[in-house]
Structure 1
Amino acid sequence: MTIYEKNLRALRSQNPNLYNKLSKITTNSKFEVFANGSLSDANIVDLTDHQPLYEATPRKETESILKSLDRYRLYPALYFYGMGNGYLYKRLFDNRFLKTVYIFEPELELIYVALNLTDLSNEINSDKIVLFHTEDVTSGSLMGSIKGQDIIHFKGYTLHLHSNFYEKYRDDILRVNKEVTKLFSYQINATGNDITDELLGLEHFIQNLPTMLKNPTLHELTQKGKITDSAVIVATGPSLAKQLPILKEIQDYVTIISVDASLPILEKEGIKPDIVTSIERIALTGKFYEKTSKAFQKDIVFALTAIVDQELLDNIKAGQLQLSMRPTGNHYYFMELDEWGYIGIGMSAANMAYELASKIGFENIILIGQDLAYGKDGSSHAKDHIFGEDEVKHNDQKDDYIEAYGGEGKVKTTWVWKLFLSGYENVIQVNNQNTKIVTINATEGGARIRGTKEIPFREVAKKYIRKDRKKEKIKLDSYDDATIEALLKKSDEKITHALTLGYNMQKSATKMLKEITQIIRKYQKYDISDIHRYAKEKETKKVVDKIAKVRNKYYGGEFESFYGLLISPLITHLEYDIAYWSIQPERSQRERIHKNWRMIVFHHEWCMRVTTALESIIKVIEAKKPILEKEVAHYSEEEALV
């Protein structure tokens, strides 16, 4: 097997789209290779302008680059614009601290050439090297490729230029850099800094566990939900009203998946959805269901996340409940219940609806009312929205302008809607690369959603909707009582174990906080810039080593699985600072003491936040666990009577 064949085989699973592109190349025509006696010293010349990739000999330039990167020695990830001949990326992993290199190359043929010259198959197979053709790079496509542990080091991010040759791609460099930083920004905004929502979600989840288990699984819905070839997702943007007459005409021939906010509007228009999605944990969402009649709710599948409020559940008067776990840490902890998971990676009911339609496997997924922007009249929502057409108020300081539907100028949006937009584009990108699903944006207004086909709804109704037979109702089955009882018992055991994990971590973090407080008080009278004159390296390192043990306990295994996401809003922004300082140089005793001291000070705050969060989380679990215990006891009593 040739070097190229080995590299291509490795790339097939990492980046199928790039693999397919490279598979079509049989030879290089734009670039000429000069081997210079060895493949690692090969130079490459652009035949269009006769510019060599390396000005000096490639080996010398590689050594020069490696030397210049010494200050990044502790960085776990590096980002490069330019593939070069590939040899640099083989050498970079001589550094044991480096775990991943992300390479962005604008010329497909240069990727082809480099993969013929340098064997990077092991590095690609192990995801040490992650390779991108820059024309495919968007923040959405990067989301599944740049690892979470590398995103947390975003404060140290630099996009390195492989060589001066790549300076002529300046506009593309700026665009790629913008997409990478956009991904980082999305992650930061998505995290937030308040655990109130997480606590509310946990409270609702434990309370809703029995209801979830007594009703059909998400797997059941994805297997039986495809009652037509096409699905229409009905969001509540300002453009919705003009599409409703068309939807009413075709409602018998398409699967209608409505977001909760559109439900009262659809009842008023005489349009019955097949599935309704809800993702929010707040009680106010229940108003959408309160405003609809029992007769209208009949036969609808209410696909809800398991963190919804009890008021919402109480307002569902008919139809079929189906609760699901979200793809988050404390839900993944319940792996035994994975048939009820996982959905809701996006941040809106519409994101969830699209994700559900994708899992069901509709051939065509059609979006209407998905403006993600203010209407031309300044409205934020559709006509007859129960909270008003201007529910979201304009904020000129925070609002932004993005590309409009059809590429026709710009539209005004909010940072929240931009998060929803990213959520859409991320899943659409995956669908476009890995499935035959066609996503059509028939909103005819609002923001452009990249990856969709923009087609007027009337045209969609004519070309994509089969009208040879009417759809049937979705019918789902639940598990028998014996299975439900077993799952309830297992869930109760898992929550009991989670409490034990919480108690143990609370004890460890409290003990660590006391030790950190002691050393900070010892040196608090000194200026931090002079700390190296007073604190001893051995003394500070001893404390930092103890901190590392507590962190390993926190981030290793089951504790993080259950508690990680619950606590993350309080510590993630602090972790960005910790991550940045952890990769700074420590070439002298002074640098080592200052670095240790930074870690000590940061972790004083870290321990306080962890213990505070755990106190609140444990209170919620202790308060809601009896609900689950009562259900287990109820099933046991019924079994005894039988």
Structure 2
Amino acid sequence: MSHFDTNLAALAKVDALLYLALKSFKPNQHYEVFMDNDPANYNIIDTKNTKALYLTKPIDEIMERNAQLHSYSYYPFLYLYGLGNGVLIRLLFNEQRQRIVVFEPELEIIFIVLNLLDFSSEIATQKLQIIYTKQISYMGVDSLFDSNKYSRVFVKTYDLLVTCPYYESYHDDILRINGYFIKAIEQAVVSVGNDARDSVVGIYHHIANLPDALRTPSLKDLVLALRGRDSAIIISTGPSLHKQLPLLKKVAPYATLLCVDASFPILTKHGIKPDIVLSLERVQESAKFYTDTPKQAQKGVVFALTSIVHKHTKLALKGAKVCFSFRPFGYTSLFGFDEYGYLGIGMSAANMAYELAMLAEFKQCIFIGQDLAFGDDGSSHSKDAIYGTQESQYKKEGIYVPRYGGEGQIETSKIWKLFLHFFEKDIARTPPSMQVINATQGGARIAGTKELPFTQVVESIVQKAQKKPPLLLAPPSPKHSAKLIKQAYKKAQDIIKYGSTQKRKIERVFLQLARELEHIEKLNAQNKLEKINFAKLNALSDKIDDIKGLFGERKFTSYFMDAIQSYIFHQELDIAKVLVLYTANEDELKAKQLQWLYYHKYWLFSLAGGIDCVIHTTQKALDEWSKQDLALASSKPTKRTTLS
């Protein structure tokens, strides 16, 4: 079997598009290979432009470029533009390297290299990813940080390196790829968040709401009740919504209306009853969407809430048909109630509605009021919105995105741009069996959707003249709910017990490190740095690595990662820059170790503090449970006796 066959077999399992392109490729179109006695010294000639990849002896140029990239020796992730003859790629693999991603604009060069060099093992393990740039989009670059989440930690070390001068003529393509990376890195960093308080509030609400949540129909029940329906309309609160209300009223008897909570008062005012209203926010302000609408409006509507909603939202819907689901966070998944999860990976109720539409397998999903941009009059929300047409949290920041219809740009905000990216990621993963239509007729363009006028969409639905069936949901039996509530209480107690053990372990290492660094600072003041005990520092480094091992345990990450990830992740980004520093001698290596330890002093302090916060939050949330629920949760099962 030739190198090409083995490489192609490996590629077939990890990149079907490139595999198919190479399998049917006819060689010798625009490039010729000039071999040498040394198999590493071959050149590739661009016959169309009469230009060689290497202007002098290839191996000399390759070794020179390899030397130039020596400072990248400790980078676990390398991003290169240009495959060249492949020899440099082979040289760049070392013990530290986890993955090399190579962007190549010419399919024929990929074909040549995979014929002459064996990369099958690296391709199969995805240590090497060869990306044909004509097949790559933003989603493809973004997925690089999903396929290996460890790579997110090293986003601040990103650099797109050109392998040889031949590729400098691909300037526009390099800028395009680099632009995708900038957008993907921004998304990776922003989606982690920068405020741990939100996550802690979410943990508190989730645990406090569990007894009520486990007495409602589950997400699984809701999805099954929606199966077999044709059309879902997701109703958001953008400036364009108001003009679409008459058409929405016309189509309401036929299509399933998935309404974000902020749109509910608007629909109520105009006599439109949605099928499902979705709330995912943990803030108290969301309750106003229900307290400021008549109770009568809640009849016949299913209110799909996430378990992290504020208790005021829950109280405002007392007596209504409520269905709880869990957001896909670590602390929700480890409770094990999978039938209640997991919805709301995106950041808005509209993102959540789209996820529900995908799960329910609607034949088509239509967006209206999904502007994700300011109206031409500067408004942020539709007329009749509870909090007004210009909400203060949506500020003009000079951020522009492509306009609906593709004619020019429109101003958006950081928050809306984030929502937009979540939509585009979800739509890219949507099965082709569901058509996605953007009938907003205004605002931002959502990549992956078909843009159609709402009039046309409504007419096609109404013509079928099939009225939708009522949405029927039944709560679980009291016995089943009681069983789940007991499990929830036991899991919450385990968070407290397990967390306390890990916190004490981290605090011990923090105190040892703090004392040692204080001693080093004294030595520095006395100009006696040669007396630093590096054997002791090595032992401390090993203890910190041991604590870092906790992040490989599902139990630890599920319980605590959501609460601590915002500040731990941002610290890890800076620590990663230290890890990749090239050290040429022993003194530089020692300086690097000291820098690494100094960063971890605050890291350990933050980690212990975050765990402590989760422990206290869990206990405080359990204190919100009613006496009856606490008695139920802590009661022991009665023993059954048999009569002989």
Q: TM-score, normalised by structure 1?
A: 0.91
8 Å Cα contact 1:202/1:307 also seen in 2: yes
2:71: which partner in 1?
71
Do 2:485 and 2:633's aligned partners in 1 also have CA atoms closer than 8 Å? no
Q: Is 1:537–1:589's contact at 8 Å kept on the other side of the alignment?
A: no
Q: Structure 1 residue aligned with 2:445, among 445, 448, 458?
A: 448
Which residue number in structure 2 is paired with residue 346 of structure 1? 346
Distance 1:267 1:391 in 2: 21
CA contact (8 A) 2:33 2:45 kept: yes
Rate the CA distance shift 1:260–1:638 in 2: closer, same or farther, 3 A. Answer: farther
Say which is worse superposed, 198-207 or 631-640, in terms of deviation.
631-640
Aligned partners of 1:103 and 1:579: how far apart in 2? 22
Kindly tell me: are residues 633 and 438 of structure 1, through their superposed partners in 2, closer, same or farther at Cα, counting changes over 3 Å? same
Residue 412 of structure 1 corresponds to: 411
Instruction: Give the match for residue 162 of structure 2.
Output: 161
1-structure distance, mates of 2:628, 2:591: 54
Aligned to 2:330: 329
Return the alpha-carbon distance in structure 1 between the equivalents of residues 513 and 150 of structure 2: 26
* In 1: Cα distance, 2:96 partner to 2:620 partner: 45
In 2, Cα distance between equivalents of 1:25 and 1:474: 53
Query: SS of the residue aligned with 1:321?
Result: strand
Corresponding letter in the other structure for 1:510: E
SS in 1 for 2:282: coil
| 1:538-597 Cα deviation digits (max 9, x unpaired) | 343232222222222354342122101211123221111111101212332211221111
Measured in 1, the distance between the counterparts of 2:412 and 2:437 equals 21
Is there any run of 5+ residues in structure 1 with no aligned partner, and where?
Answer: none
CA deviations on 1:70-112 (whole Å, 9 max, x unpaired) are 222221111111233444434433x111111122223344434
Amino acid at match of 2:144: S
Question: Once structures 1 and 2 are overlaid, which stretch shifts more, 455-464 or 227-236?
Answer: 455-464
Q: Structure 1 residue 348: deviation in Å?
A: 0.9
Query: What SS does structure 2 have at the residue aligned with 1:587?
Result: coil
Structure 2 equivalent of residue 560 of structure 1: 557
Amino acid of the structure 2 residue aligned with 1:507 = R
The residue aligned with 1:485 is 482
| SS at 2:214 equivalent | helix
Superposition deviation, residue 319 in structure 1:
4.8
8 A Cα contact 1:227 1:255, kept in partner: no
The equivalent of 1:501 in structure 2 is 498
Match of 2:373 in 1: 373
Q: Shift of the alpha carbon at 1:196?
A: 1.3
Q: Which moved more, 1:552-561 or 1:195-204?
A: 552-561
| Contact residue 289 and residue 386 of structure 2 kept, 8 A | yes
Write the distance in 1 (CA, Å) between the matches of 2:628 and 2:585. 61
| Offset at residue 140 of structure 1 (A) | 3.6
Compute the displacement of 1:23 (Å). Answer: 5.2
In the alignment, what sits opposite 1:106?
105
Task: Please tell me whether the aligned partners of residues 284 and 313 of structure 2 are also in contact (alpha carbons under 8 angstroms).
Answer: yes
Partner amino acid, structure 2, of 1:97: Q
Which residue is 2:188 aligned to?
187
User: Residue type matched to 1:107 in 2?
Assistant: E
Which deviates further from its counterpart, 108-117 or 167-176? 108-117
SS in 1 for 2:429: helix
Distance change >3 Å, CA 464–CA 84, structure 1 → 2: farther
Matched-pair contact (CA < 8 Å) for 1:492–1:628: no
Change (3 A) 1:582 1:221: same
Q: 1:287 to 1:493 in 2, by over 3 A?
A: same
8 Å contact kept, 1:540–1:593: no
**Whole-Å Cα distance in 1 between the matches of residues 637 and 509 of structure 2?**
48
Partner of residue 605 from structure 1, selected from 589, 602, 606: 602
Q: Rate the CA distance shift 1:594–1:637 in 2: closer, same or farther, 3 A.
A: closer
**Partner in structure 2 of residue 391 of structure 1:** 391
| Separation in structure 1 between the aligned mates of residue 572 and residue 8 of structure 2, nearest angstrom | 37
Map 1:427-446; keep pairs closer than 5 Å.
427-431=426-430, 435-446=432-443
**Structure 1, residues 471-510: CA drift from partner, whole Å, max 9, x if none?**
1122234443443333333332222222222111211121
Distance in structure 2 (CA, Å) of the matches to 1:119 and 1:483:
57
SS at match of 2:257: strand
5+ long unaligned stretches in structure 2: none
- Aligned equivalent of 1:170: 171
Question: 1:193/1:237 Cα in 2 relative to 1: closer, same or farther (>3 Å)?
Answer: same
Letter matched to residue 634 of structure 1:
L
- Aligned positions of 1:277-296 closer than 5 A: 277-296=278-297
Indicate if the aligned counterparts of 1:330 and 1:566 stay in contact, CA closer than 8 A: no
- Paired position in structure 2 for 1:587: 584
Q: Once the two structures are superposed, what CA deviation does each residue of 1:608-636 show, in whole Å capped at 9, x if it has no partner? A: 21222222221111122353995364378
Once the two structures are superposed, the pairs formed by residues 460-479 of structure 1 within 5 Å of their partners are: 460-463=457-460, 467-479=464-476
Deviation at 1:246, TM superposition (A): 1.7
Check whether the contact 2:11–2:123 (CA below 8 A) recurs between aligned residues: yes
Q: Distance in 1 between matches of 2:582 and 2:264?
A: 57
- Which letter does structure 2 place at the counterpart of 1:225? L
Measured after TM superposition, the shift of residue 167 of structure 1 is 0.9
2:229 equivalent to 1:232: no
Q: Which residue of 1 aligns with 2:140?
A: 141
Shift of 1:518: 1.0
Q: 1:131 to 1:102 in 2, by over 3 A?
A: same
Where does residue 629 of structure 2 map in the other structure? 631
Compute the displacement of 1:524 (Å).
2.3
Q: Which stretch shifts more, 185-194 or 282-291?
A: 185-194
Q: Go from structure 1 to structure 2 and tell me whether the alpha carbon gap of 1:54 and 1:453 turns closer, same or farther (over 3 Å shift).
A: farther
Tell me if 1:123 matches 2:115. Answer: no
Task: Report the secondary structure of 2:150's partner residue.
Answer: helix
Instruction: Spell out the pairing of 1:417-428 with structure 2 (5 A cutoff).
Output: 417-428=416-427
Residue 482 to residue 61, structure 1, CA distance change in 2 (3 Å): farther
Q: 1:141 deviation in Å? A: 3.4
Distance 1:459 1:157 in 2: 46
Give the distance between the partners of 1:257 and 1:563, measured in 2 at CA.
33
1:177 deviates by: 1.0
- CA-to-partner distance for each residue in 1:385-426, whole Å, 9 max, x for gaps? 000001136745x34122211222221111111111111111
User: How far is 1:37 from its partner?
Assistant: 6.2
Is residue 489–residue 634 contact of structure 2 (8 Å, CA) maintained in 1?
Answer: no
Structure 1 401/631 Cα, relative in aligned 2: closer, same or farther at 3 Å?
same
Q: Which amino acid aligns with 1:159?
A: L
Specify the SS of the correspondent of 2:501. Answer: helix
Determine helix, strand or coil for the equivalent of 1:407: coil
399-408 or 517-526: bigger deviation: 517-526
Displacement of 1:138 in angstroms is: 4.2
- 8 Å CA contact 1:257, 1:277 repeated in 2: yes
**Equivalents in 2 of 1:531, 1:144: separation in Å?**
50
One-letter amino acid of the counterpart of residue 69, structure 1: L
Query: Which segment is superposed worse, 240-249 or 17-26?
Result: 17-26
- Aligned-residue RMSD, C-alpha: 2.9
Note closer, same or farther for the CA distance 1:575–1:217 as it changes in structure 2 (3 Å cut).
same
- 2:561 partner SS: helix
Match of 2:248 in 1: 247
Distance 2:160 2:239 in 1: 40
For 2:240 and 2:156, locate their aligned partners in 1 and report how far apart those are by CA, in whole Å.
Answer: 40
Shift of 1:121: 3.2
Q: What is the rounded CA distance, in whole Å, between the counterparts of 1:13 and 1:417 in structure 2?
A: 36
2:358 pairs with 1:358: yes
| Alignment partners' CA distance in 1, 2:66 and 2:213 | 55
Per mean C-alpha deviation after superposition, the further-off stretch among 101-110 and 165-174 is 101-110
Per-residue deviation, 1:316: 1.8
8 Å contact from structure 1 (residues 364, 440) kept in 2: yes
State which drifts further: 37-46 or 398-407.
37-46
Distance 1:86 1:114 in 2: 6
